[in-house]
Structure 1
Amino acid sequence: MYISTRSNERLTVSKAILKGLASDGGLFIPEVFPTIEFDTTWTKKTYQEIAIDIFKLFLDDYTDEEIAYCVNSAYDQVNFEEGMVGFKTFDKLSFLELYKGPTLAFKDMALTILPFLIEVAKKKNNVTDKSLILVATSGDTGGAALSSFMKSGTFDTVVLYPYKGVSEIQEKQILYYTDERTKAFAIEGNFDDCQNFVKGIFKVYPKDSGVLISSANSINIGRLVPQIIYYVYAYFRGVESGWIKFGESFDICVPTGNFGDIFAGYIAKQIGIPINKLICASNVNNVLTDFFTTGVYDKNRQFKKSNSPAMDILVSSNLERLVYLATGRNGHRVKSLMQDLNEKGVYSLNEEERSFMEEFIGFYADENQTLKSIKTAFDENNYLIDPHTAVAFYCYKNLKMDSKTLIVSTASPYKFPSTIAIALGLDDNKSEFEIIKDIALHTGTSIPKGIAKLQESEKTTSLKTTKEIEDIVYYK
């Protein structure tokens, strides 16, 4: 069963996936984390086989046949032509490349399967209402959600993103996947404004509307569980390649915005993967760095647009799940803390709660440090990384950790051509597609198919007010 972080509301996992957000505004989390007695036979398993085994632990009201259907439908050669993930090693450091999917970002790892998880959940619970998927995005989630739900053909999907708050390529990708049933709108503000609007709709949407609304953001447990898989897979690829020995611990360093990706790593640790420290790598919106340093979460600060836009976030929603665990699973305490955050913009943990989080290290990189890290990675290793991965690379280099470390590489560098050009000293005073060609020539890397096809798209930004969007999601 799954329980809300703010009360005793309990649901099966299929119902939690359909609901997205708990009735009290909390997030769903397993009542108990399962554990696995891993052995070396896991080094021989494919990504799909590991996915099935992990899903059997967490999707406890799905049958084996339903899980296999979801995995085989999502994790196929259509969505992942070049394989599921990449794994690059440089001595003690490895990069887990999670951008082999249709939209070239780690969000594809979970969002390609989410439509199938929802489809099965609807059948299990005899839900015949039409489905409306609401998504707030700081860049990558939007394109990945639209791509996945468009292919299913059975969902209405609305994506909100901050106007002029994503890269040009990210916006082109978001708009590329729009049609009559999958829509994307820009709104004035930042990602937090988009996310707050989506959460607000969940609270007030009429229950008798004949519409089932759910979320494709990582506030939905159906988004989070698939992300556990790639940490398990990465560990056994590391063992298989000889990077680490079976049972040897390692750190993970994760570019972090909404805290879902790194929290999935934390769950992987709970089920038996020997992860030591979890490095939470932030950009100039370093609210999480301050939180792990002081125990105080304070969003009362200037929001800054950066060259790692997917991490431009001041309210990291998934942190609530970790806070819930830190309080000893005290929903009343979490509800009070989240009320403080909503009303005062700040909350503080006590000493016992802070000590629970000692496995986490917060660190951040500013824009110049991000640019220098892109250049350093290329100069030292002939390895091209995107600005979000560069934030993590900077944190790793400057923390000077002794352990072997896995950096989660979250997006293709080709999604951020202007930033890459500046970092490598190329001319950025061109169109993004001209810059992309220059990057490929300079670095000897190939332009991904998912980028090349965007050049033909002529879809343009649709800037809407929140009132206009309300009319759309209420089917007025």
Structure 2
Amino acid sequence: MDYISTRDKNLKISSSQAIVAGLSKDGGLFLPETIPSFSLAEIQAMAKMDYIGRAAQVLSAFLTDFTKEELTEYISQAYRREKFPPKEVAPVISLDAQANILELFHGPTCAFKDFALQLLPYLLTASLKKNGVNKTVVILVATSGDTGKAALEGFADVPGTKICVFYPEGGTSNIQRLQMTTQTGENVMVFAAKGNFDDAQNGVKRIFTDKEFAKALDEKGFLLSSANSINWGRLAPQIAYYFSAYCEMLLAGRIALGDKINIVVPTGNFGNILAAYFAKRCGLPVNMLVCASNRNNVLTDFITTGTYDKNRDFYLTSSPSMDILISSNLERLLFMLSGQEDEKIRELMNQLVSCGRYTVDDLLREKIKAEFACGCADDGKTFETIGEVYKKTGYLCDTHTAVAVRVYEEYRAATGDKTPTVIASTASPFKFAGSVLPALGEKPQGDDFDLLWALAEKTQRTPPPALTELKNKQERFTAVVEPKKMKDAVAGWLDVK
């Protein structure tokens, strides 16, 4: 299967080459030229498998450079029991007659990014070998909170790799920050970047498209790649857990084979919900995809109006992983729905760079609205939802999941849609204890670790050791850089002039 760039569909490379490159040289994103399909019989067969088998089945259809045996080995290592304790890996919990929670936070960093970033090091190092690349690959990551730690955890001390993470100064929860700044490993580096996530993400993109810097790196034996969801190797593993969720619903008798489901995803960069869209395009019976935003509701406005406009106030919210105004993965969706019109995509992305906004034509806007519903929830609604859901059902949502639940509840009330629904739960509530406690009527007191244990006592739950153990770890990385100095920071770390 060939992979093509969203900005030049004539540029064709293999899946392993796409994983190594991360971002196309023309600034576009790679995606498969054709979409594989799964029959209902194949989905029924997946239901009899464990998560490892389901993921291998899905990924082998996309990553055709790899044998199914290779992928099964990588997936087995990435999702082994000591990293993902629950037997189901991605369990589905019933919330009410229609709503079900897909828990994606049982990995080593307590966030959904673990599904991709525990597997990506295996895919990347194997891809390097398949393409005869003997250089040290340098992973650059911009994070709004969860990706950074998940990437650091996945790549720490992996031979032949180095990883550098940029997070927005003051733009993550303190627990998220500590997860990154205390990271162990001889090949890791972390910087705080002034500004917001978009500033950090744009800084990383500028580094990737700097040809002179790429040449200097090459002379030192380095090759740039990405662990953000701009890298297809990051996005593809996320498709698998939507197939798995459908299988879990089948096994629980919540649906019959062929019944359609809705999927609701809290998202800022559009990668997680795009993975659900790919699952639908592959044949997973999906009715509606519901895009849930927080107060930074650029995606809600875009799906509603067809105009994407990042020229707006930026807000720091209680769901920081969604505090994003430039949703990079939207480019992939526009490319697919436009019929692979790369010239149109180049024009739209150039408009975004030059004036911060673009408007799609009426046909494309209607295609988007046929696939996606949307909504947003500010912090007030988020806290209200955490408290209400806990009181009614005993289920404890983190702030991001609560955004999705609230948007789904408003969508269901407005439409009367009673389709069985999967809501992606993207992080452990203990990562945001300082926000979850007030939603339960408790006044936060003490430091972040006091809050962890206060939430544990309030809810009679055990906080993840990966979070409580941070208290005794030494911070290693405290440097702060301006976005325009990010390249210099990377060069200094790598000793590249």
1:174 aligns with 2:180: yes
The 3 A distance-change label for structure 1 pair 311 and 467 is closer
- 1:60-118 superposed Cα distances (whole Å, 9 cap, x missing partner): 11123322232122121232123412210022110000001000000000000000000
**Aligned partners of 1:349, 1:326: CA distance in 2, in Å?**
11
SS at match of 2:72: helix
1:4-15 paired onto structure 2 within 5 Å: 4-7=5-8, 8-15=10-17
| Cα contact 1:66–1:120 (8 A) shared by 2 | no
**Which of 371, 377, 398 is matched with 1:365 structurally?**
377
**Counterpart residue number, 1:53:** 57
**Aligned partners of 2:402, 2:444: CA distance in 1, in Å?**
19
**Counterpart residue number, 1:451:** 467
SS at match of 1:384: coil
**Counterpart residue number, 1:21:** 23
| Cα contact 1:36–1:272 (8 A) shared by 2 | yes
CA apart distance, 1:317 = 0.2
| Cα contact 1:178–1:184 (8 A) shared by 2 | no
**Which of 420, 430, 433 is matched with 1:414 structurally?**
430
1:129 aligns with 2:129: no
Aligned AA (1:286): N
Moved over 4 A (4+): none
**Aligned partners of 2:483, 2:114: CA distance in 1, in Å?**
27
- 1:293-347 superposed Cα distances (whole Å, 9 cap, x missing partner): 0000010101111110000000000000001112111001100000000001110
CA apart distance, 1:153 = 4.2
Once the two structures are overlaid, the 10-residue window that deviates more, 174-183 or 15-24, is 174-183
1:254 aligns with 2:265: yes
**Aligned partners of 1:206, 1:416: CA distance in 2, in Å?**
38
SS at match of 2:139: strand
CA apart distance, 1:449 = 1.4
SS at match of 1:29: strand
**Counterpart residue number, 1:96:** 102
**Aligned partners of 1:468, 1:301: CA distance in 2, in Å?**
25
**Which of 303, 322, 326 is matched with 1:311 structurally?**
322
Once the two structures are overlaid, the 10-residue window that deviates more, 135-144 or 175-184, is 175-184
**Which of 415, 420, 424 is matched with 2:440 structurally?**
424
The 3 A distance-change label for structure 1 pair 177 and 154 is farther
Once the two structures are overlaid, the 10-residue window that deviates more, 361-370 or 425-434, is 425-434
SS at match of 2:228: coil
| Cα contact 1:137–1:191 (8 A) shared by 2 | yes
CA apart distance, 1:151 = 4.9
CA apart distance, 1:38 = 2.9
**Aligned partners of 2:486, 2:338: CA distance in 1, in Å?**
37
1:439 aligns with 2:455: yes
SS at match of 1:157: strand
1:471 aligns with 2:488: yes
1:110 aligns with 2:110: no
CA apart distance, 1:146 = 0.2
**Aligned partners of 1:337, 1:73: CA distance in 2, in Å?**
40
**Aligned partners of 1:121, 1:41: CA distance in 2, in Å?**
29
Once the two structures are overlaid, the 10-residue window that deviates more, 30-39 or 117-126, is 30-39
1:78 aligns with 2:82: yes
Once the two structures are overlaid, the 10-residue window that deviates more, 324-333 or 459-468, is 459-468
SS at match of 2:223: strand
**Aligned partners of 2:114, 2:245: CA distance in 1, in Å?**
16
SS at match of 2:214: coil
Provide TM-score, normalisation by structure 1.
0.98
The 3 A distance-change label for structure 1 pair 269 and 85 is same
Structure 1 spans left out of the alignment, 5+ residues: none
**Aligned partners of 1:371, 1:314: CA distance in 2, in Å?**
22
**Aligned partners of 1:467, 1:200: CA distance in 2, in Å?**
9
1:287-366 paired onto structure 2 within 5 Å: 287-357=298-368, 358-366=370-378
**Aligned partners of 1:332, 1:372: CA distance in 2, in Å?**
45
Structure 2 spans left out of the alignment, 5+ residues: none
Query: How large is the Cα RMSD of the aligned pairs?
Result: 1.3
SS at match of 2:209: helix
**Counterpart residue number, 2:38:** 36
| Cα contact 1:306–1:312 (8 A) shared by 2 | yes
